[in-house]
Structure 1
Amino acid sequence: MPTNERLVALMTEAGFLDGRGEVGRKKFARAVNESAAGRAAGKRFNHTYVGRWLAGVTPRDDATRDAIREALAVRLGRRISPDELGFRSMLSVSPDVGLAYPYRPDDGVNSVAELLEADLAGTAALSNAPANVGAWHDASMAWLVDAQQRLGSGSGPKRVGASDVERLRTMRSTFDRIDSTFGGAHARNALVQYLHGEFPLLLRAQGTADVRAALFSAAGESTQLAAWMSYDAGHHGLAQRYFIQALGFADAGEDRLLAASILDAMSHQASFLGRYREAANMARAARLGTQSAGVAILTSHFYAMEARALARLGEASACDRAMGAAIDHFDRHTPGDGPAWLDYFDDAELAAELGHCHRDLGRPDRAIEFATRALDSASGDYVRSDFFVAMVLADAHLDRGDVDEGCQIAAQAFAVGEGLESARCHSYVIEFRERLAPHRQSPSVREFTASVRNTRMWSRSQPSSP
């Protein structure tokens, strides 16, 4: 039985069938040979070759794969992308794939399909790639000037409906909860595997304008989650690429608020990577691009991300203005008046963001105030977020000289966060360890380090040891 189901589906759609209604291997071999790419390949293909392709064997040379694509494209009257053929083992990916903003929706589909394929294959050039600073600027500007072409009706063999959109959103919610509870590295590969199986057929499928717009919006949400999970797992170049393509999907779906939120998430990653000026600019671009929408809760979050970047830059006055604006806009919103995917941004989350800012500005008293407020009002549904703010609280106590209290809070945070698979969590531990260094002779520090020495949180976070 054939194992390359994608190739079987394409051949069937294109009418390469024999008299019994099964895939016609000889008929397809003739079409491949007669294609321009087939003639250029310099070899003759027969039914045996086709049988191997259907069995999952990947042609070794680009010319053969091009000939197969051309034979199918001529019959189907549309372009066939490499990922549609179902070949995986000979994957060759450009190191720049996904960095360019997709000006056409089809380009975004092809880029994400290629990214997902390379991600599953563990392509080191992508999984270990650093973020590209210029790509952040280019994507921000392309979205702001609304340069993307509008969606077409789709040309694939499948038709999509509202149930397909709902299924994609439901799966995204499921993975989002796993991410928040166990960290991005825990189920990232499972999400990538799911999207790899769903996206190409869904996003190329035919459907009404409304359904396809909703589908691309849902795809933007799912791709953004793949970006977040990759970022949390420490795959920053890969995460940046997913973010950029998610931005394109949201734009194709005419979901301006989601697109701005994705830009806001890119700002978050830039701050984590120490690119604070770029982070502040992307948060401002997100706000600028949604001014006419007037969604107070979303604007509050944009100001909070800008404040986070400005605090790291040490620009206290500008940070204070951004924090004030974040609070003002948050106070104007009515619960439930924003997008559903922003429901997590509540009083606790805002207080946590402000706690980060005051810690980074060297204001431990204010940081303690807001971090304590965040923990006291937290729902407990977001384990990783609770860990982050607990570590901010521990940092602030150390900065104020409360060594005993700082160590006690950190120990409690470690107990909560031990099950998290998150590179970001380890970065918080590194910052805490750096603050511990001046107090290394304290009995409290000695007791704390002895109690956590064998935890994953401690052992995987290795600055200069206190």
Structure 2
Amino acid sequence: MGLKYREPSVCQWLKGHVPREAVRPVILEALARRLHRPVTHAEAGFPPPSQRSNTCPSMVDGLVDLGRHDMDPSRRGIVGAGLFSVALTVPNWPDVLGRMEAVQSGRALRMGSAEVDMVVAMTERLSELDDQFGGRHARPMAAAFLVNTVAPYLRAEAPESVRKAMLSATADLCYLTGYMAVDEGHHGLAQQYYLKALQLAGAAEDHLTYCTTLRGMSVQAVDLGHGRTALRLGDAAAAAAPQAGPRMRAFLAGQQAHAAASTGDRGRALTHLRDAETAMEKAESRSKPFGSYDPSALNYHLGQVCYELGDIAGSVSALERSDQLRYDVFRRTRVRYRAMLAERQLEIGHLEAACHTWNLALDDYPLVQSGRTDQRMAAMCRRIRPHLRQHAARDLYERARTVVPARLLARQP
């Protein structure tokens, strides 16, 4: 039976009376059609739907709310203020597998494989922009795309195979957007995107994106100094990928090695590192824009394991090999890791080599908009100041003053 509501009911709603739960989706649909954009329960002032976790309305609403706040310049500082949580509850694969109900149908929109292909292609382009220019400008575009284009597709009519393909594509996009939030230092926000990616990947029965996201969460944790949390997440990623191919095994084992080394577990770190090296030897050419692994990344992990275990010279050698093997398209990574290499060269007393490497990082730095590269440049300026009597250090510092923003030059430890 159809629902009919007249002006008195609307007046009651405007006075603060919340309509019955069964009616709320109808109201949201009417508002969405009039405004030509998704409208969530929170925006309309309704409480969250009292449904089982991971059902479609609540998941899509959460995705829209998260993305809309992130793409709004007036709120980005607020959503970015969330803190990284080591106590975050991460759903296990059996908990998210297939838990999303059938997509809520919307007669105004249908979805086919062409729409899925478009989301996949857009995610690849955003990933390329992030690699080359950093995430500062790409993340608002990703958030806007999630809200305005992808979320309505998740409510559209579609065959089951197409629906799952769209869920998988959306999970990939959420993972990438979370990674870009990490790049800006918005770690609480990144965790929210990562959790959405896990939920969507589980609903899509997409093992690859689920494991890639857990691994990304492990990378975030170890970089913030939470070694045990990083190891737990890295181990969970590996455990959830029993049928992974050799490149994926290397991808996961390399991160497990870094996380184990950060806890001081030398034996476990070296075992995982050998597993990564063995798997890489079996791997074929890289095929995905992210979630892939190559010899440069493996040498980076070797460098991190060496450094965590106290072998700074070994770390320098591994990072030098990583830099030589890195693809040119990964400009942001090149700036960040060259700066890291220079810091370690300085630690072992190789001042001129460090200055040379920092100069290489400065070559690309103006083209990159990234919080993590900004942090490395600020660290460079702090570390080089005690050596300004040396010709190489003085020249580097003078060049930095023309390239690095003044706010970073003045930043104190």
Partner of 1:57: none
Larger displacement relative to structure 2 (192-201 or 310-319): 310-319
- Alpha-carbon distance in structure 2 between the residues aligned to 1:119 and 1:407: 38
- Alpha-carbon distance in structure 1 between the residues aligned to 2:270 and 2:386: 29
1:398 to 346, 349, 355: 346
Q: Percent identity?
A: 21
**Cα drift, residue 68 of structure 1:** 12
- Alpha-carbon distance in structure 1 between the residues aligned to 2:31 and 2:253: 42
Partner of 2:281: 331
**Cα drift, residue 308 of structure 1:** 2.4
Partner of 2:216: 265
What one-letter code is carried by the residue in structure 1 that aligns with 2:271? R
**Helix, strand or coil: the match of 1:177?**
helix
Partner of 1:363: 311
What one-letter code is carried by the residue in structure 2 that aligns with 1:108? M
1:380 and 2:328 aligned: yes
CA displacement, residues 310-336 of structure 1 (integer Å, 9 cap, x when unaligned)? 333344333222222221221222225
1:453 and 1:334, CA in 2 relative to 1: closer, same or farther beyond 3 A? same
- Alpha-carbon distance in structure 2 between the residues aligned to 1:463 and 1:267: 28
1:131 and 2:84 aligned: yes
1:93 and 1:276, CA in 2 relative to 1: closer, same or farther beyond 3 A? farther
1:415 and 2:352 aligned: no
What one-letter code is carried by the residue in structure 2 that aligns with 1:116? G
1:332 and 1:420, CA in 2 relative to 1: closer, same or farther beyond 3 A? same
- Alpha-carbon distance in structure 2 between the residues aligned to 1:461 and 1:161: 51
**Helix, strand or coil: the match of 1:454?**
helix
1:368 and 1:167, CA in 2 relative to 1: closer, same or farther beyond 3 A? same
What one-letter code is carried by the residue in structure 2 that aligns with 1:334? E
**Helix, strand or coil: the match of 2:354?**
helix
Partner of 1:31: 5
1:201 to 152, 168, 181: 152
Question: Please, what TM-score do these two structures have when normalized by structure 2?
Answer: 0.86
**Cα drift, residue 435 of structure 1:** 4.8
Partner of 2:13: 41
**Helix, strand or coil: the match of 1:152?**
coil
Partner of 1:55: none
- Alpha-carbon distance in structure 1 between the residues aligned to 2:339 and 2:251: 21
**Helix, strand or coil: the match of 1:128?**
coil
Partner of 1:8: none
- Alpha-carbon distance in structure 2 between the residues aligned to 1:342 and 1:449: 35
Partner of 1:160: 111
**Cα drift, residue 171 of structure 1:** 0.7
Partner of 2:225: 274
**Cα drift, residue 360 of structure 1:** 3.7
**Cα drift, residue 83 of structure 1:** 6.9
- Alpha-carbon distance in structure 1 between the residues aligned to 2:44 and 2:391: 54
2:139 to 177, 184, 188: 188
CA displacement, residues 400-431 of structure 1 (integer Å, 9 cap, x when unaligned)? 21101101111111111222111111233345
How many residues align structurally? Answer: 403
Partner of 1:238: 189
1:451 and 1:194, CA in 2 relative to 1: closer, same or farther beyond 3 A? same
- Alpha-carbon distance in structure 2 between the residues aligned to 1:423 and 1:172: 21
What one-letter code is carried by the residue in structure 2 that aligns with 1:403? L
Unaligned runs of 5+ in 1: 1-13, 16-27, 44-61
What one-letter code is carried by the residue in structure 2 that aligns with 1:427? Q
**Helix, strand or coil: the match of 1:340?**
coil
Partner of 1:250: 201
1:87 and 1:380, CA in 2 relative to 1: closer, same or farther beyond 3 A? closer
Whether the aligned pair in 2 keeps the contact of 1:151 and 1:253 (CA below 8 Å) is no
1:284 and 2:235 aligned: yes
Structural RMSD (CA):
3.4
Question: Please, what TM-score do these two structures have when normalized by structure 1?
Answer: 0.77
What one-letter code is carried by the residue in structure 1 that aligns with 2:85? N
- Alpha-carbon distance in structure 2 between the residues aligned to 1:93 and 1:243: 26
- Alpha-carbon distance in structure 2 between the residues aligned to 1:81 and 1:264: 40
Partner of 2:59: 108
What one-letter code is carried by the residue in structure 2 that aligns with 1:107? S
Q: What are the within-5 Å matches in structure 2 for residues 428-447 of structure 1?
A: 428-433=376-381, 435-436=383-384, 439=387, 441-447=389-395
Partner of 1:70: 23
Partner of 2:375: 427
1:71 and 1:240, CA in 2 relative to 1: closer, same or farther beyond 3 A? closer
**Cα drift, residue 145 of structure 1:** 4.3
**Helix, strand or coil: the match of 2:102?**
coil
Larger displacement relative to structure 2 (413-422 or 425-434): 425-434
**Cα drift, residue 346 of structure 1:** 1.4
Whether the aligned pair in 2 keeps the contact of 1:113 and 1:199 (CA below 8 Å) is no
What one-letter code is carried by the residue in structure 2 that aligns with 1:311? A
Whether the aligned pair in 2 keeps the contact of 1:154 and 1:207 (CA below 8 Å) is no
What one-letter code is carried by the residue in structure 1 that aligns with 2:310? G
What one-letter code is carried by the residue in structure 2 that aligns with 1:267? S
Ranked by relative contact order (alpha carbons within 8 Å, sequence separation 6 or more), the top structure is 2
- Alpha-carbon distance in structure 1 between the residues aligned to 2:204 and 2:262: 34
Bigger Rg over Cα: 1
Partner of 1:312: 262
**Cα drift, residue 227 of structure 1:** 1.0
1:149 and 2:121 aligned: no
Whether the aligned pair in 2 keeps the contact of 1:131 and 1:236 (CA below 8 Å) is yes
- Alpha-carbon distance in structure 1 between the residues aligned to 2:405 and 2:282: 39
Whether the aligned pair in 2 keeps the contact of 1:271 and 1:309 (CA below 8 Å) is yes
Whether the aligned pair in 1 keeps the contact of 2:99 and 2:202 (CA below 8 Å) is no
